[in-house]
Amino acid sequence: MEKPSYHLESSFDAEWHFFKSISEQKMIEKAVIFTPIDKENGIYELIFGDLENGIVNVKNVSHNQDTVRVLTTVIKTVYLFFERNPQKTVIFMGSSTARNRLYRGLISKLVDEAIDYFEVLGTNSDGLDEVFVKNKDYFAFKIKLKQ
């Protein structure tokens, strides 16, 4: 991962991350939170959004002209999470069509850059997993380290 990313502030267990998206126009505080949703099976949800007065807002579309840098930074949090939690599975879904596109872009980048390392799945609305196919719509996405 050699593309520019933003400086991260991270918790030691790599479950919480904060960074600032900065352009000439504005500065937006971002949060990436990995929160357990099925502890028995080690499944964590990735929640990504703007941090506004302590509230994580996943609905905003920032238009801060730095999508690639933001995505690269989020991918770095994914790497870091798996570095600290190699047995876990990360699941996430978009909060809107725009956010789903963002997540699909995130996954596509990850597939291009690190498919040898990660198992990337798309989950349809019936809950069935398949190997992620670019540009295909899914209800949710799952990532885990190849073992």
Partner 1 sequence: MKKIGKVPDFDHSDITFIADLKSRQITLGNEAQKKHNELVEFVKRTKKLNPKVELTEV
Q: Could you list the residues that contact partner 1 (CB under 8 A)?
A: 1, 5-12, 15-16, 18, 31, 33, 35, 37-38, 41, 43, 45, 47, 49, 51-52, 54-59, 76, 79-80, 82-83, 86, 91-93, 95, 113-114, 116-117, 123, 126-129, 139-140, 145-147
Of 82 and 132, which CB lies nearer to partner 1 in the complex structure? 82
CA angle 8, 55, 3 (to 5 degrees): 25
As measured in angstroms, the least distance from the Cβ of 145 to partner 1 is: 6
Q: Are 140 and 91 in contact (CB under 8 A)?
A: yes
Q: Are 122 and 92 in contact (CB under 8 A)?
A: no
As measured in angstroms, the least distance from the Cβ of 103 to partner 1 is: 12
Beta-strand pair 140-145/89-92: antiparallel
List the one residue out of 109, 129, 111 whose CA is nearest residue 121.
129
As measured in angstroms, the least distance from the Cβ of 90 to partner 1 is: 12
Of 33 and 64, which CB lies nearer to partner 1 in the complex structure? 33
Of 64 and 92, which CB lies nearer to partner 1 in the complex structure? 92
The kind and range of the H/E element at 31 are strand 27-38
Angle, helices 97-114 vs 67-84, to 10°: value is 60
As measured in angstroms, the least distance from the Cβ of 105 to partner 1 is: 18
